[in-house]
Structures are given as C-alpha cells and as structure tokens.
Amino acid sequence: MNGTLFTNGHIHTLDSDQPRAEALAAVDGRIVATGSSAELASTYSNFVRVDLGGRPVCPGFTDSHIHLASYGISLRRVELRDARTLSEAVLRVGVAARRAKPGEWIRGRGWDKNLWPEDRFPTKTDLDPATGDVPVVLMSKDGHLAWVNSAALRQAGIDTRTPDPAGGEITRDRRGEPAGLLKEEAKGLIWKAVPAEGPETIEAGIREAMAVMHRFGIVAVHSFVGTDAFEGAATFAAYQRLAASGELRLRVWMTVPEDNLDAATRSGLRTGFGDDWLRVGPVKIFADGTLGSQTARMIEPFEGQPGNTGIAIRARDQLIDLVGRAVDAGFWCAIHAIGDQANRWALDAFEAHYEASQRAGARHRIEHVQILHPDDLPRLGQLGVTASMQPVHCTSDRDIADRYWGRRSRYGYAWRSLLRTGAVLAFGSDAPVETPDPFQGLYAAVTRMRPEEPDAPPWYPEETLSIREAVEAYSVGAAAAAGRDAVSGSLTRGKYADFVVLNQDLLAVPAEDILQTRVLATVIGGEVVFRTPEFTG
C-alpha cells in the first residue's frame, strides 16, 4: 500500500474523539490514520513523507454558497464594487465603452447605490452620454438589479408596451418609458439579448476561480445558480468537462435551477448523484429579492418606504408546490430568502413536506436567512433546515440593515440564536457579491465588526460566535448541509485528506488577529494543490 504521510503538524481534526494529532496518513485521497508522527512513521514507513514544519493544520474550508464561474468571469469584467459615487461608476463604464469592439456588450457588476452620496438608483440617462450606442448591462452588488443603457433596452426590445414579468419590475420614468433599471425577474428580459457566454469563457472562469479558492484554503464549494444566465446547465457542463480532463481540483456540489426541475427529473437526476469531485445538489429556488435593493419580502414595510414590503418572487403557495415536487423527484431544496416574510414562507413550505422530506433523507436549507421574525427562530432547528449564511453580508450590510429594518435588525444574521435553537450553520461568501476570503468571513462571524473600523462597537454582539464555531460552519456544518459528513468536514479515518496548513493557530489567536492568518498550503485528496515558498513540505 502506497500513500502519503504528513508529519510534524499541529493538527486540529475537529473530531471530538481525537481533537488533536501530529500526523495523518492518506491513501487514494482518503485518511487511513491519524496520530503521533513517530507512531505513523513506523507504521507507514514506505509512504511518501511530507513535513508540515510544525505548522497549524485544520480541515479545508468549504464555501457553502458561491457562484464560482461568475466569480472567475467577473475578474475580467468592469468592477464597480469600490466605486464610491455614481459618477465614478459611469466614468469606468465609459472607458470600457470607448474600447469596445463593434457589436460587443459591456458587462460589469458590483455597484451599490447605498454607498453613493447621490443616494438614488441609477438610470439609463446616467449611462447614455458616456456609452452611446454600445449596449451596457451592469449587475448590482447583490445581483438582483440590472442597470442598463438605452442601447441595451433597444436591443432587448424593452419599451413602454413591455409588461412587468411575474416577480419582477421594469422601473419607468414619468412618461412610462423604461428608466434603465430592471428588478428581479425582469432581468431575464435583458439576458435574452445579451450574447451567451461560450464554453471556453466559462471553463476559463472556473479555472481562475479555482486558483483563488486554493490560495484561500477552500477545498470544496456549493456552486449556486443565480442571476447570470450561464450559471445553470452551461456551468454544470463545464464542470463535467473539467472533471473528465482531470482539471477539476475542487469538490463541487452543484445546484439545479428551479426552472430545470422537470427536465432534471425526466433525465433521472436527483440530489447526490455524482462522484467525489462533482455531485448534483439541491434545487435552487428564489423566494424574494435583497436588502440592498429593498426587494426582500418583508412582513412590515421597509423603514421610510410606506407600502414597500419587497417583491415575492415565489409566494407561499408556490414554494409549497415547488418543494413538494422536488421532494417527490428525489431532490433537496435550497431556498433564497432574505426578508422575514420570505423566510417564514420558506419554513412553511418545508413544514408542509416535513414527513416526506424525512423519509427521503432530504437536508433542506435556506440561503442567507438574513432576517427572521423572532417567532420563526426555532423553526429551522425543529425542521432540520440548514441556515446557509454568509458572515461578510452582516458587516457590509449593517448600516443599511439599521436604515431599512430598524429595530428588526436585532434578529438579522442571528447566528448565535440559530445555533442555540439547534440549527446547523453552513457558511460561505456569495462571491462575486462579496470576497470569497474565508478569513474575512471568520472575522465577521467572531466580531460582527468591520476591520477598517476597529474602534466601532460590534453590531448586536450577542449574536457573535466563537472561532471554533465559525470554523465548523465552514467545514463540519458545510459537510452536513451537503450530506457529505461521512466523508468530509473533519480530519478522521475514512474521510477526504482535505486540509489547510496555516501560518498561525487560527483556533487560538485573539479575534483581532484572525485577519493575519495566511494559507501556506492547501491539500485536496492528499495532493498539495497550493503552496507558498514558506511551505517546503
């Protein structure tokens, strides 16, 4: 038996039966033993030896909610995340428009009107002088709004006669003309006109994103379909091609768009189908919009916006129907729900099919769970629903949460309360909405503070987590959410040899030092896929 022996480490296994180890042995990508360096060196003397250099080791991170292909492709798009004014955003787009080839669309993302002193949503009249006849589509930071110019509207055939689609809205000026902002399901009207991303572009985006994941110590992702048209079948096909060629060096749990549920069912697919590298995950369902766009579905209106309770992309009865159909077909469900009403409806849908879900072994989840009514807090634990959350959303959104939710924010991003009531937490990033850096997420979870504001008080500190609880949400909880807890999440015999070597002991450093943690090496399936010069191995 040949394998690899990793010795001389300070290993946090996250296994309560054997929480610490010095060494681990791996064969065919799985751990066959953990223990002391001397003991394992004697037992596995013929194994290839890798010296961990006395460094701290913990299970590799899983990003439980990421748009991996979109993130990779976004690295080559017009980036507006750090545009601090509307005029700055327009200036960047104008530069790209002047460089555009004939027939090319300008695409970008990341704008956030909540950061702009203009404090208003952008329109086509902002873009038109800078872009002329070059069509432009710019996704908001949360991905739920498309800002477009007149040229894009013309090419998509969107005019005064175009009706609002169900679950979406075309904003209009006083004359009834499309104003250049498409909300929620209305985005689909523009995507029909935008040239589709080709297979080569999608594969290149995944490759670029994988390299970033390895640098961050991320060994697995739950790859979500979302607001980009290519995030469904085209991305799944790209993953399959990369897996077939041996290039997929990241474990992928791929969601299925709700619109493809019937086709997937007819094809005989179901949640869990796949292998060690690529598996079919849950059906992704949208219940509402977002906080940043004020389209999250709320029980009571947003502060200062009488009558605005957001947009229901799927209302209660529709969610109940979708969950029922999915469970009958062998699929688990992941429901995007931001607002308290959307979360209540999602929980109602899971409750309606609780017994059938239990019989099927389904592990349903809610994506984001950003704000809950106090009455609904215990229901996730009671129903066995995973809270799939992104800690960086909490700290980046805290100001607009206070602005638009007011005192209701007490139960926003309620990690501690959810853990206390028995819910499983699975953490991720929602990249490209936020950075995929897990250390940023860990810092947010442990402090509920922004690193650039170290003197500002933590936001509702009663909801903070310990560093171990936060790390477990990126590993143990993430594995449980995907039904992979038998093979991943902790460093124990029979599980994947997926781990990260760090420059400092993440589970022991003060909270303020979390962001100084660096990945020295990332190991997936017993193979070192990333290393820095400091890691000699």
pLDDT of residue 277: 98
Domain boundary among 173, 191, 209: 191
Determine the Cα angle at 63 with ends 58 and 65, to 5°.
160
289-298: pLDDT as tens digits: 999 889 999 9
Residue 94 and residue 152 share a domain:
yes
Name the percent of the chain lying above pLDDT 90. 84
| SS3 of residue 396 by DSSP | helix
**pLDDT score at 489:** 98
The rounded mean pLDDT for the chain is: 94
pLDDT digits (tens, 9 = 90+) for 356-369: 999 999 999 999 99
Determine, yes or no, domain membership for 266: no
Question: Angle, nearest 10°, between helix axes 199-215 and 233-244?
Answer: 70
Identity of the highest mean pLDDT range in 100-109, 230-239, 487-496? 487-496
Give residue 191's pLDDT band: very low, low, confident or very high (50, 70, 90).
Answer: confident
Residue 249: both structure tokens together: 């060096």
346 within domain boundaries: no
State the DSSP string of 214-237.
HHTTEEEEEE---SSGGGTHHHHH
User: Domain check: are 47 and 127 in the same one?
Assistant: no
Which of 191, 221, 243 terminates a domain? The answer is 191
144 pLDDT band, cuts 50/70/90, is: confident
Residue 509 inside a domain? The answer is yes
pLDDT grade, residue 228 (50/70/90)?
low
Residue 291 to residue 246: CA distance in whole angstroms:
40
From CA 268, how far away is CA 535, in angstroms rounded? 45
Q: What is the CATH number of the domain that holds 520?
A: 2.30.40.10
Q: What is the DSSP string of 426-447?
A: EE---TTSS---HHHHHHHHHH
Query: Within 162-289, where are the H helices?
Result: 187-191, 199-215, 233-244, 261-266
- Is the same domain home to 91 and 122? yes
Flag whether 370 is in a domain: no
Which range among 109-113, 284-288, 306-310 shows the weakest confidence by mean pLDDT?
Answer: 109-113
Secondary structure (3-state) at 162:
coil
Which of 36-40, 72-76, 152-156 bottoms out in mean pLDDT, i.e. has the lowest? 72-76
Residue pLDDT, tens place only, 433-469: 899 999 999 999 999 999 989 889 999 999 999 999 9
Q: Do 56 and 109 lie in a common domain?
A: no
Q: Is residue 326 part of a domain?
A: no
State which of 171, 191, 211 marks the end of a domain: 191
Reduced to 3 states (helix: H, G, I; strand: E, B; else coil), residue 411 is helix
Q: Mark whether 11 and 83 lie in a shared domain.
A: no
Please check whether residue 160 is in contact with residue 177, taking contact to mean a CB–CB distance below 8 angstroms. Answer: yes
Residue 524 lies in a domain: yes
Identify whether 176 is part of a domain: yes
Number of domain units in the chain: 2
Q: List the one residue out of 286, 215, 220 whose CA is nearest residue 248.
A: 220
Whether the bond between 432 and the residue before it is cis, its omega within 30 degrees of 0, is: yes
Q: Are residues 44 and 124 in the same domain?
A: no
Q: Are residues 176 and 92 in the same domain?
A: yes
Q: Residue 150 above 70 pLDDT?
A: yes
- The beta-strand segments (E) located in 390-513 are 425-427, 499-502
- Residue at 345 is within a domain: no
Q: Both 91 and 186 in a single domain?
A: yes
In the predicted structure, residue 229 carries a pLDDT above the cut 80? no
Q: Give 64-106 pLDDT, tens digit per residue.
A: 999 999 999 888 788 888 888 999 999 999 988 898 888 889 8
Whether pTM exceeds 0.85: yes
* Chain segment 156-179, per-residue pLDDT in tens: 999 999 999 988 999 999 999 999
Question: Which range of residues forms the domain containing residue 51?
Answer: 4-60+494-531
CATH number of the structural domain spanning residue 141 = 3.10.310.70
Backbone φ and ψ for 208, nearest 5 degrees, come out as: -65, -40
Residue 227: pLDDT above 80? no
d(CA 253, CA 255): 7
* Calpha distance 140→295 (Å, rounded): 13
Q: How far apart are CA 282 and CA 280, in angstroms?
A: 7
For residue 397, the model assigns a pLDDT of 93
